Structure 1
Amino acid sequence: MRVEIEKRVSELETEYREGQRMLADLEARQADLQQTVLRISGALQVLNELLAADGAPVPLGADPAPPAETTQEVHV
């Protein structure tokens, strides 16, 4: 019985370490994606402000002042 328990403990420790690694990878990907979205938002704002200053109408669906970045928690 002890051997089976020790084997299961070892398996669970391995799974735990792999889960921790996967979680760290996902968090890094989330941070990269948030930075990308923030850069796109900034570019949209600048371009829409240039259009507005030039007197050109803002394209349909374009928000002349995109909302500030919001952080959404990702649940895995």
Structure 2
Amino acid sequence: MLKVNCPTCQTKVEWKPENKHKPFCCDRCRLIDLGEWASESHVIKGQSLKQELTAQIDEFSEDLPPADDSFFRH
């Protein structure tokens, strides 16, 4: 049976269908890892998607006509 190290605590984990937490050893380690991604302690190197999207929105906005504020007046 293939064994891998838990990404959080490095415990050996059997890679089998019955292990619902794989590649983690338990739900606690899975949640710790999720929290690290959510807090941006873990990141994937490269250009920020936010920067890329902001540039695309700015480019798109230049092509729009000026906003008509009368639509928002009551």
User: TM-score, structure 1 length as denominator?
Assistant: 0.29
Relative to its length, the structure with more helix (as a share) is 1
User: TM-score, structure 2 length as denominator?
Assistant: 0.29
